[in-house]
Structure 1
Amino acid sequence: MTIKVVIAGARGRLGSAALRSILNAPNMEVVAVLDYKYEGQYLHGTVVNDEAGGIPIYTSLENLVAATRPDVLLDLTDPDAVFKNVHDAITLGIRPVVGTSGLSIENISLLTELAAKNRIGGIIAPNFSIGAVLMMKFSAIAARYLGDVEILEMHHDKKVDAPSGTAVKTAEMIKEVREAHKQGHPEEKEHQAGARGADFDGMKIHSIRLPGLLAHQEVMLGGEGELLSIRHDSFDRSSFMPGILMAIHNVMERKDLVYGLENIID
């Protein structure tokens, strides 16, 4: 069976890479693009024009679904658009695969309930890199024994949300196995606001944004007389493609929505 995929955010850097990957994947077909403009035009690689033969562009998901009947929505847009896109997709019977970070826990909970009600499979993945997911898993294992944790996440300077979805997901996984406590000196004072980073259940998360970076994270776990560092680096967006393809296949078999690629990795 050929899986019919629609991509939201196909003109972005990650979306363009995903488009190429899906077009080259066996048993997958990109049937349309969801965009906020260019209704009625066609996407030819990275070029948009009115020449037929490319991938049709729609600004309405409802109209797109009526015309192309897709199986999966791959959403690689931005935090402002993703909730509505995914909500509408589930309502229309389309399985969402989401690589956009910035969804709140409340939004994820609402979408999870909606997917369960409609018996629609879906995946929200803060990071599609297999290596990054393993880094999160290893960090959660280590935090059972080394409970003082700081997370340093580093991304390109075009990323709009901080901390990253990967950092938040890592902290959530660690929270499940670590007793909450305040780290550092009990009388610690910040002479510059934010110097100690964001606080998550007593852990600290630090966000760096610089040109030249793509997606990098280091989890530092301190113990008496020792330090364990677990680091992952994505140097190219191709690192996300195996996870995206895995998620698209997986949602075809699901009847629920899961948060995190670790839920489909043994």
Structure 2
Amino acid sequence: MDKIKVAVSGANGKMGQEVLRMVINDPELELVAAIDLKMSAIDIGQVIGHEPIGINFDNDIEQALTQKQPDVLVDFTNPQAVHNNVKTAIKYNVCPVVGTTGLQAEDIAEFNRLLKQQELGGIFAPNFAIGAILMMRFAEQAAKYMPNVEIIELHHDQKIDAPSGTALKTAEMIKEVRSSFKQGLEDEFEKVPGSRGGEYDGFRIHSVRLPGFIAHQEVIFGSSGQVLTIKHDSIHRESFMPGVNLAVKKVKGFVGAIYGLDKLID
């Protein structure tokens, strides 16, 4: 069985480095390119605490994809870079697996169109932690019976977007099963603007950004005489790697864009 050839963009970031380690340690995968705009001519082993790999960082994604010809591009960059990276991958018949957040529904729709034109698959996941996927599914089930809900998501202070992609995906799943209504008092007011969080379909999403956090979320449901809290904590970035691994191995098996890792698990 041929190995799946993998390129990683944003390879010198914290998530990118975890992906490099994961790919290197999986006998079914072959790392062929590590792409990062700020790195070049440096063996990736030097930055991931590994002996020399024989693969240097590339800082030109188009050149890397044409020369190394990967099957899959794993992207953990930023909202400004991801659009070009995905379109470049599709252009060269490389399946994108994207963990970069900040994408909008219209972005996914555009990628879906381009992927279908090229008969490629792509996976766009706001969260790759299996526990986080279960949290979202449990929240979706709970919302059918306890429609009063608020979401609190907590991330490190270097995260650029708010709310998180995971929080938005959770909110979308809840909206699908919950009748729309505005929660709280009709004449409620904020003494400090924004203190009640952002409003989505009548309920609130709160974003916390502090040093020390990785990725955390609570979905709190309230009903007469009871409160239900569904919580997930990623305490290390390696928590995302089983999901990334699953996506890399599944993405060549379909055509078009999949939004959310939940579509890949039973």
TM-score bin (small chain) = over 0.9
Structure 1: how far apart are the matches of 2:78 and 2:26? 25
Query: Superposition pairs for residues 60-139 of structure 1, below 5 Å?
Result: 60-139=60-139
8 A Cα contact 1:6 1:73, kept in partner: yes
Structure 2: how far apart are the matches of 1:118 and 1:164? 30
Runs of 4 or more, structure 1, over 4 Å off, are none
Give deviations 1:5-48, integer Å, cap 9, x for gaps. Answer: 00001111111111111100121111012222334x13333549
Structure 2: how far apart are the matches of 1:256 and 1:107? 13
Post-superposition shift, 1:56? 3.0
Report what 2:35 is aligned to. Answer: 34
Report what 1:230 is aligned to. Answer: 230
8 A Cα contact 1:126 1:166, kept in partner: yes
**Counterpart AA for 2:65:** V
Query: Superposition pairs for residues 1-266 of structure 1, below 5 Å?
Result: 1-39=2-40, 41-47=41-47, 54-266=54-266
Give deviations 1:35-72, integer Å, cap 9, x for gaps. Answer: 22334x13333549xxx963233333222122111000
TM-score (norm 2): 0.95
Q: What 5-or-longer segments of structure 1 have no aligned partner?
A: none
8 A Cα contact 2:44 2:57, kept in partner: no
Q: 1:6 to 1:201 in 2, by over 3 A?
A: same
Helix, strand or coil for the counterpart of 1:176?
Answer: helix
Give the stretch that moved more between structures: 128-137 or 78-87.
78-87
Helix, strand or coil for the counterpart of 1:55?
Answer: coil
TM-score (norm 1): 0.95
Query: What is the identity percentage for the equivalent residue pairs of Structure 1 and Structure 2?
Result: 49
Q: What 5-or-longer segments of structure 2 have no aligned partner?
A: none
Q: 1:232 to 1:47 in 2, by over 3 A?
A: closer
8 A Cα contact 1:115 1:257, kept in partner: yes
Post-superposition shift, 1:118? 1.5
Structure 1: how far apart are the matches of 2:74 and 2:35? 10
Structure 1: how far apart are the matches of 2:205 and 2:4? 38
Helix, strand or coil for the counterpart of 2:157?
Answer: coil
Structure 2: how far apart are the matches of 1:61 and 1:14? 18
Give the stretch that moved more between structures: 112-121 or 178-187.
112-121
Q: 1:31 to 1:188 in 2, by over 3 A?
A: same
How many residue pairs get aligned? The number is 262
Post-superposition shift, 1:246? 0.4
Q: Over aligned residues, Cα RMSD in angstroms?
A: 1.5
Helix, strand or coil for the counterpart of 2:43?
Answer: strand
8 A Cα contact 1:42 1:54, kept in partner: no
